[in-house]
Every structure is written in C-alpha cells, then in structure tokens.
Amino acid sequence: MTTHRFRLGMVALLALLATAPIGGCSTFEGLAQMDRTDDFDTARLHFTQYVRYGRIAKAAQFVTDEQLEEFLALEPQVADFRLTDYEVVTVDLDEEARTATVDVRWSGYILSEMVERNVDVTQNWAHDDETGEWKVTLEIAAIRRGLTGNR
C-alpha cells in the first residue's frame, strides 16, 4: 500500500517537472514579446499599461520622435497620477492606411492631492512600415490639462 502511494506520488512529481519547462517557456515568450509593437491592439495595450504604472520611459517607446521630449517631460505629473480606469471611447482604424485615431479617457486620482481626475485624450496611431512599429502622437496639452485640472 505504501509503495503504491509512493509510486503515484513520484508519477505526479515527474509529470509536474516534465510540464514545468513548457509553462516557463511560454511565460518567457510572453515577456519577450512585451516590447514588440507590430500589432496595433498590443501596442495600444502596452502603451496604456506603461502609463497606468507610471513607467513613462517605457511608454515613450511608442511615442513619435517629434513628441518624445515633450512626452518625457510629463513624467513627474504622470508619476503623481494613479490610473484606475481606462475607457476607449472611439476607435477609427484604417487597416489599409495602417493608421488609427483613438479617443480615450484615463480616470484616476492625483496622489499628492487625493483628487480624482479624468484625462480625455486623442491618440493618433500610425504604423511605420520600415520599423514595423506602431507609433502614437498625443494631445500633450490635453494630458497636461487633465492631470492638473485646468480645463
């Protein structure tokens, strides 16, 4: 009886060990793909997640070169903003031109003031065929106004 339980336990342990690398590989693949921006929905999601957690330097990889400096200058304000909800208001995707206009609302609160804020912003996305990446142009002034409460 004890031998039978031991064997069943060993079989279960071996089965667990045999499948562990598979799960580990798929998790690693998922992490490795986190920075890929060739898919619009993935790029939009990753950009939002980086903003949500105040990782402006990581979110900046999706911002056009023309706006990069201005976007990075928002870091202190975004670091003080805790994004609690994200609503896609409209999406106008032109698959042929590989462009998209997305109206979003970021809802959250300012940590230093404990004040709720809604940040309404239009994101203009375009696919760069040379790099294979989706890049966004933002209404930086609208983001700044939303974060400061100045309408």
Same domain as 50, residue 17: no
Range of the domain at 9: 1-35
Are residues 89 and 53 part of one domain?
A: yes
Do 7 and 75 share a domain, yes or no? no
Long-range contacts of 94-103 (CB under 8 A, 24+ apart): 98/126, 98/127, 98/129, 99/124, 99/125, 99/126, 99/127, 100/40, 100/44, 100/124, 100/125, 100/126, 101/125, 102/44
- Domain count along the chain: 2
- The CATH number given to whatever domain includes residue 75 is 3.10.450.50
Same domain? For 127 and 83 the reply is yes
Same domain, 52 and 92: yes
72-110: per-residue pLDDT in tens? Answer: 999 999 889 999 998 999 999 998 999 999 999 999 999
The structure's pTM equals 0.71
